Amino acid sequence: MNAKKVVEINEVTKTYGKKNQKQYQALKGVSFEVESGEFVGIMGASGSGKTTLLNILSTLDKPTSGSVKINGNDVTELKGNQLADFRSSEIGFIFQDFNLLESLTARENIALPLSLQNVSPKEIAPKVESIAKTLGIESILDSYPTEVSGGQKQRIAAARALVHNPSVLFGDEPTGALDSQSATELLDTMRKLNEQQQVSILLVTHDPYSASYAKRILFIKDGQIGTELTRGDKSQQDFYQEILVELGTFQD
Amino acid sequence: MLNKLALSGIKNRLRDYIVLFSGLIISSAIFYMFMALATNKSFITNNAAGSNAKIVFMFGAVLLMIITFVYVSYANSFLLSMRKRDYATFMMLGAKGSKISQLIFIETITIGITATAVGIIAGVGLTAGVGNALINMLGVSSKNFSAFYFPAIVDTLAFFMIVFLIASLVNAIKMSKKPILELLHSNQIPNRNKTKFSIQILQTIIGIGSLAVGYWAMASIKDLKLSALPIALVAIVIGSYLLFNAVVVVIINLLKRNLNFANKNLRNFTLSQINFRIHSYTMILSTVSILFALALGAITVGMGFKNEIPEIADKGVTYDVVTHSQDTQTKKLTSKLTGVKEQVTYTYKVAGNEVYFINTEFNDNPILYPKRDSRGLISDNKYEKITPKSMSKNETEYSYALIDLINGVTDYENTKINFVTKTSFSQLSGKPQTFTTFKLKDFQTNLKQAKQIQMHENKLFPKSDLYGSSKYDMYEQNMGLLGGLAFMGYFLGLAFLAMLASTLMFKILAGADYDKGRYRMLKRMGVRQSLLKNSIRSELAVLFGLPAALGIVHVLFGLQFFKILLIDPYAGIMLPFIAFIIIYLIYYLITVWLYEKIVMND
């Protein structure tokens, strides 16, 4: 397997607050790598710094020090339009609250990243159809987000995040607003995407069940990466148990 | 505690409140300004055609009240949209519905009273400035015009108090009736347009049809008389509404279906945003288009009246200046006239009921007798020549025209005009008198000289029969009448424009809070800042542009209406249109700026 690295982050720190004011260090030197085709979970409690980490990874925020490389590009050096273009071509997002544009139909929502890159309509249509098929949402393509269920919304969001073949898919608690069945369905789909289409996924969550879908889990606490778990050949059930045990000791 | 909460709410979002506040101040200032004129009876009767002016002002006042009411309710919904979340939070913390209602009431009324008070002060200043500028520009008498007019202050205060009272009651009821969750999420749900395509087409046809009826009614004012006005008003209101409700939606959907167009950058998003809005905007867009037309129409007609003052004077009297038995002062004054095309002196003697002219003088330079149209205006420089020979053709009329020019004869019917040779003229008894006619290239530029000559003539012949027949007198009379109408046109036009543009502005800004999330989302997806701004600008441009375009069409047809009052209502139409569009554009730019500040700020 090609061991190309899609995410490399090195000694990243993030400090909030101005110099002469009360400062708070959210990240205290975080380093890790995600290889192409990996499914990595990042776990941590509220306030552990995982949201800050995801914001920096997804180029929505900048680190105070350290470097962040995505697909070999140092994103900390990008600005303005370059940054926007990078985001729209290299990164896919799924958020807890779906973040769909409710004035657009599912089809239009999914097509948006391609329209932004000025892909011709002829090419857009088959791409949207194919990703919709992968995610099982062909039948609702012409519905508006308000007319479909939460699970379907998140699938639309996932389709939108993947339609332009980004280097990496970031998920920020994507199952957070879903019922357990929809959540399982979404996670199964994500696993399928990862295994069959080699989509690199980085999933941030505090839910052990979601995390158990990952191949590798990084635990973050007080702005630092603590333990790391690898699933290897273990069954998902065993891995889940291992995560629970780890969480139990990790919280102390 | 409650007061403190309400006031701290204002403090926290000072910037948004400044927008709201300045809008309300402008509206109350304009209202005051209008009332200062409309309720000042002595000023109106002094300037315009008496009872007619009163009707026009009353009509204007009613329109202004309606738009102010609409404006304040939009400003209020903007206020409510800002505070909704805070109120919902208070409720979640356990505040009772009645407490919240009280809170809203206090807040709305506080803002209302403060804004109205500041607005009236601003209005006094504005009235002094704008009013006097207009008065100078139009040369209307400023007698009885005062910026500070107590009854207007009372009217403005009373009106705004009532409006705010209603608004705060509505706000309070709205808030306390709705469940908290709905408050947090209202307006975010798009109303998907489920109207069938065939029904939309039908609406389109009816819409265009009723506009056609409205326009036809205005053009046929001569046949329909007074009933043209209500027919036009109803038909155009219905037409505008349906046009926005159906036509725009149909066009947007057609654009969206054209994938080559729609699937580029953010176009699809922009189109959907507009589509999404159009439904809740139909009412306001059609109102704005009609108000736009009224405002622009008022200014255009006002300008038309003003422009026609010299034209009517020009076409009413043949000679620009006529002097009688010139003395040295007259000569001095007439020498100052510029662009004299023709200057002829005629000699005459009056003996009892007989008037004698010298025939050679008339053969050399016949006096011109104008052909007049149905309104008494000289049509296209068509003149008949009065000579000793032609005199018999139309003896009565010609002799009246000549008597008009001479001094000392009042009995038109029994006076006889005679043309004699120079020798027999000198043998006649009586003192020879003269009158001198001037034709000028441009009367307007000689206004000052003409006035001085007229005053000198009045001094020379204090008891003469000449008064009221000179071009200058005609000009001055028209100035009083038409100038007053023009003044009103400008005033109403400016007031409407300011109000309607800010109404639209508030309607848009009230929705901005809900759009924040959408733009944040797009930013996260990697949409360039420039594309986002483009999208915002085009969306707002459509929302501003559509009613303006329809409004302009309304005006172009509506001017037909004024054919009965004006020689050419379409003359000089560009100036008011351009001025109007520039002011409107400024409002658009301010709205874009504020909107961008609200949605892009994070």
The answer to whether residue B431 sits within a structural domain is yes
Of B272, B521, B525, the CB nearest to A113: B525
Q: Is A177 helix (H, G, I), strand (E, B) or coil?
A: coil
pLDDT, tens digit (0-9, with 9 covering 90-100), for B237-257: 888 888 888 877 888 888 878
Cα angle B596-B597-B601, degrees, rounded to a multiple of 5:
105
Identify the band that residue B484 occupies on the pLDDT scale cut at 50, 70 and 90: low
Domain residues for the domain of B459 are: 321-467
Q: Is the CB of B189 less than 8 angstroms away from the CB of A88?
A: no
Identify the band that residue B5 occupies on the pLDDT scale cut at 50, 70 and 90: low
CA dihedral sign, ordered A239, A245, A248, A249: negative
* Distance between CA atoms of residues A199 and A182, nearest Å: 21
Give the total number of structural domains in chain B. 2
Q: Facing residues of A65 across strands?
A: A13
CA dihedral sign, ordered B407, B411, B417, B418: negative
The answer to whether residue B549 sits within a structural domain is no
Of B262, B272, B525, the CB nearest to A103: B272
CB atoms within 10 A of CB B4: 8
The predicted model gives B505-519 an average pLDDT of 79
* Distance between CA atoms of residues A135 and A132, nearest Å: 5
Q: What residues of B are in the A interface, CB distance below 8 Å?
A: 188-190, 192, 259-260, 262-269, 272-273, 275-276, 517-518, 521-531
For B547-580, letters b (16+ CB in 10 Å) and e give bbebbbebbbbbbbbbeeebeebeeebeebbebb
Which sequence spans correspond to the domains of chain A?
A: 5-12+35-250
The predicted model gives B511-535 an average pLDDT of 83
User: What pLDDT score was predicted for residue B417?
Assistant: 85
* Residues of A in Cβ contact (< 8 Å) with B192: 144, 146-147
Cα angle B202-B203-B206, degrees, rounded to a multiple of 5:
85
Q: How far is CA B540 from CA A2, A210, B135, B601, in A?
A: 50, 43, 36, 18
Q: Which of B467, B489, B504 is the last residue of a domain?
A: B467
User: What pLDDT score was predicted for residue A251?
Assistant: 59
Backbone conformation region of residue B139, classed left if phi is above 0, alpha if psi is from -120 to 50, else beta: left
Among the listed ranges A45-54, B26-35, B403-412, B462-471, which one has the minimum average pLDDT value?
Answer: B462-471
pLDDT > 90 in chain B, percent: 3
Cα angle B197-B198-B201, degrees, rounded to a multiple of 5:
90
Q: Is the CB of A115 less than 8 angstroms away from the CB of B268?
A: yes
The answer to whether residue B74 sits within a structural domain is yes
The answer to whether residue B528 sits within a structural domain is no
Cα angle B514-B520-B526, degrees, rounded to a multiple of 5:
150
Question: B28 Cβ partners below 8 Å, 6+ apart?
Answer: B115, B116, B118, B119, B120, B122, B123, B156, B160
pLDDT, tens digit (0-9, with 9 covering 90-100), for B156-214: 899 998 988 888 888 777 776 766 666 555 555 545 556 677 888 888 889 889 999 98
The answer to whether residue B1 sits within a structural domain is yes
Distance of CA B169 to the CA centre of its chain: 34
User: What pLDDT score was predicted for residue B185?
Assistant: 58
The predicted model gives B316-340 an average pLDDT of 85
User: What pLDDT score was predicted for residue B56?
Assistant: 63
Closest CA–CA distance from residue B95 to any residue of chain A (Å): 28
Among the listed ranges B44-58, B154-168, B524-538, which one has the minimum average pLDDT value?
Answer: B44-58
Question: B568 Cβ partners below 8 Å, 6+ apart?
Answer: B304
pLDDT, tens digit (0-9, with 9 covering 90-100), for A126-177: 989 988 888 888 899 988 888 888 888 888 998 998 888 888 899 888 888 7
Question: B263 Cβ partners below 8 Å, 6+ apart?
Answer: A111, A114, A115, A119, A120, A121, A124
Q: Is the CB of A103 less than 8 angstroms away from the CB of B530?
A: no
Location of structure tokens 């100036």: B575
Closest CA–CA distance from residue A81 to any residue of chain B (Å): 6
The predicted model gives B139-154 an average pLDDT of 74
3-state helix, strand, coil in chain A (%, to 5): 40, 25, 35
User: What pLDDT score was predicted for residue B508?
Assistant: 81
* Residues of A in Cβ contact (< 8 Å) with B268: 104, 108, 111-112, 115
User: What pLDDT score was predicted for residue B297?
Assistant: 81
The answer to whether residue B119 sits within a structural domain is yes
B213 class by beta-carbon count within 10 Å (0-12 exposed, 13-18 middle, 19+ buried): middle
Of A88, A108, A146, the CB nearest to B189: A146
pLDDT, tens digit (0-9, with 9 covering 90-100), for B389-433: 888 888 888 888 888 888 777 777 788 888 888 888 888 888 888
Instruction: Give yes or no for a contact between B386 and B367, defined as CB atoms under 8 angstroms apart.
Output: yes
Tally DSSP H helices, then E strands, for chain B.
Answer: 22, 7
* Distance between CA atoms of residues A74 and A85, nearest Å: 14
Q: Indicate the average pLDDT of chain A.
A: 85
The predicted model gives B518-535 an average pLDDT of 85
User: What pLDDT score was predicted for residue B120?
Assistant: 92
Q: Is the CB of A93 less than 8 angstroms away from the CB of B524?
A: yes
Instruction: Give yes or no for a contact between B57 and B12, defined as CB atoms under 8 angstroms apart.
Output: no
User: Mutation test of the interface with chain A: which of B267, B270, B272, B277, choosing the one with the most A Cβ atoms within 10 A?
Assistant: B272
Location of structure tokens 């680190």: A63
The answer to whether residue B69 sits within a structural domain is yes
Q: Indicate the average pLDDT of chain B.
A: 79
Instruction: Give yes or no for a contact between B264 and A118, defined as CB atoms under 8 angstroms apart.
Output: yes
pLDDT score of B589 more than 90: yes
* Distance between CA atoms of residues B194 and B253, nearest Å: 13
Q: What is the topology classification, in CATH, of domain A5-12+35-250?
A: Rossmann fold (3.40.50)
User: What pLDDT score was predicted for residue B199?
Assistant: 83
* Distance between CA atoms of residues B475 and B447, nearest Å: 9
User: What pLDDT score was predicted for residue B49?
Assistant: 47
Q: Which of B467, B483, B513 is the last residue of a domain?
A: B467
Report DSSP letters for B131-179, one per residue.
IHHHHHHHT---TT--S--HHHHHHHHHHHHHHHHHHHHHHHHHHHHS-
pLDDT > 70 in chain A, percent: 98
pLDDT > 90 in chain A, percent: 6
| Maximum mean pLDDT: which of A22-26, A213-217, B475-479, B555-559 | A213-217
ipTM for this prediction:
0.80
* Distance between CA atoms of residues A202 and A166, nearest Å: 12
The answer to whether residue B510 sits within a structural domain is no
DSSP A239: H
* Residues of B in Cβ contact (< 8 Å) with A60: 524
